[in-house]
Amino acid sequence: MRFFLALLVDGALAGVVYALVALAFVIVYKASRIINFSLGEWVMLGARLTALGLHQFAWGLAGAAGGACAGMVGLAIVWNRIVLRRLVGRPLIALIMVTLGLGMVMRGGSSLAFRGVPGTIPLPLAGESLDMWGVPVAPENLLAAVAAGVLITAVTWLFQRTRIGLALRAMADDQEAAMAAGVDLDRYLSITWALAGVVSVLGGILWTAASGGGFGLILLGLRVFPIVVIGGLDSLAGCIVGAMGIGILESLAGGYLDPVLGGGFSSVTSYLALIVMLYARPTGLLGRPVVERV
């Protein structure tokens, strides 16, 4: 029973951080209907910029995180104005290929720009494990989960309770109608990608602190993609529920199935769950079905 509880707690803590990273995906999709396949590279770049400020410029964790957020916001604005605004009205496949191309550029450029920069982001915490219901928990993991939970709440509040969130939700429903009502599409798309950039930085920092980070953060995007589909591509609540479920599922599979079926099986359990979800409910747990009038 103790082993089961340990896996459950570990999976829940990982799921909260998954949910934060998944928010960066859902934010972009809700506002622009663009599927960002370069999410892993955005998270990796945000974490590497933080590590650069921390190790090379000695800005401290807060200063390094602030500098990384500023850099990602600048990248988001340039990305929107130079590339995305020229693709308005183009087929979806064009937008997908552009995000894939951006990811390749970010991956190759980062391997050169951050050569020799340590990828670790240590947190100023004591090294002793904490006790939760008789289960030892690393303080880094607990802090990452708490911080991710606070950030998820803040982003959800932004979407539901502010003027910016109202404009973004209007864009998600109907971009042409939102423009007719006076919503500056270009401005709010820049805000959308800038918000996704900031969330990517914070998610990259927390995941790096909890797991060690490095360029392996790129794979985090592949692990998050099933989560947003299972929860519903346009649902903030769905991505949180899906992330918690997948985090616990991967943890339990790693503890009980990996020793039997071989190491690494837990990493494909999310995709097996994705296949089941697409068969049972293609729109995801809380996703809205698309109704078209003809």
Decide: 139 and 209 in contact? Cβ < 8 Å.
no
Decide: 16 and 243 in contact? Cβ < 8 Å.
yes
Identify which has the larger pLDDT, 184 or 63. 63
In a domain, 33, yes or no: yes
Q: Which pLDDT tens digit goes with each residue over 64-90?
A: 999 999 999 999 888 888 887 777 667
In a domain, 289, yes or no: no
Which residue in this structure is represented by tokens 């390749």? 104
Predicted local distance difference test score (pLDDT) of residue 259: 85
Residue 268 neighbours by CB under 8 Å, 6+ apart? none
Report helix, strand or coil for 92: helix
User: What token pair was written down for 284?
Assistant: 């995801």
CATH of the domain at 25: 1.10.3470
For the segment 9-25, the average pLDDT, to the nearest whole number, is: 86
Decide: 148 and 17 in contact? Cβ < 8 Å.
yes
Identify which has the larger pLDDT, 70 or 26. 70
Query: Cα dihedral sign for 40, 41, 42, 48?
Result: positive
Alpha-carbon Rg for the chain, nearest whole angstrom, is 19
Q: Is the pLDDT of residue 143 over 80?
A: no
In a domain, 293, yes or no: no
Distance CA 130, CA 127 (A): 9
Q: Is the pLDDT of residue 144 over 80?
A: no
Q: Which pLDDT tens digit goes with each residue over 109-133?
A: 888 888 888 888 887 765 667 776 6
**Nearest alpha-carbon partner for 185 in 82, 88, 72:** 88
Q: Which domain holds residue 272?
A: 2-114+134-280
Decide: 38 and 100 in contact? Cβ < 8 Å.
yes
Predicted local distance difference test score (pLDDT) of residue 294: 53
Report helix, strand or coil for 134: coil
Residue 257 neighbours by CB under 8 Å, 6+ apart? 265, 266, 269
In a domain, 127, yes or no: no
Q: Which pLDDT tens digit goes with each residue over 236-258?
A: 888 888 998 999 999 999 888 88
User: What token pair was written down for 242?
Assistant: 């899906």
Decide: 35 and 105 in contact? Cβ < 8 Å.
no
Decide: 81 and 89 in contact? Cβ < 8 Å.
no
Decide: 36 and 42 in contact? Cβ < 8 Å.
yes
**Alpha helix locations (H) across the chain?**
2-32, 39-55, 60-82, 92-113, 139-161, 163-173, 175-180, 185-211, 218-231, 236-256, 258-261, 269-280
Distance CA 38, CA 100 (A): 6
In a domain, 292, yes or no: no
**Nearest alpha-carbon partner for 72 in 95, 39, 119, 94:** 39
In a domain, 240, yes or no: yes
* Amino acid present at 200: S
How many domains does the chain divide into? 1
Helix (H) / strand (E) element for 132: namely strand 130-132
Predicted local distance difference test score (pLDDT) of residue 49: 92
In a domain, 242, yes or no: yes
DSSP annotation of 287: P
For the segment 96-113, the average pLDDT, to the nearest whole number, is: 86
Q: Is the pLDDT of residue 149 over 70?
A: yes
In a domain, 123, yes or no: no
